[in-house]
Amino acid sequence: MLYTVAEMQRADSMLRDTFKRGGAAQRYRCNFYPGGHKFDREMQADAFAWFDAHLRNEKQRRN
């Protein structure tokens, strides 16, 4: 395992707090998945949906 669950939970807490302090709490999302280190289709779909929702500009979102 690349990181332990406890380390991932600590990072989640730090990132959640950072987004909150930046006024963007609603833009932060953390998902934990079963299994070892991977980036499978489910994880990719979740990540790309977040990118599309929060990093694309309005014109790109409509296309």
Tokens encoding 27? 């833009």
Over residues 7-14, the mean pLDDT reads 96
Alpha helix positions (H), 1-63: 5-21, 41-54, 58-62
Task: Give the pLDDT score at 4.
Answer: 87
User: For the chain, which residues make up each domain, given as ranges?
Assistant: 5-62
- pLDDT tens across 14-57, in order? 999 999 999 999 999 999 999 888 899 999 999 999 999 888 87
Task: Give the pLDDT score at 61.
Answer: 60
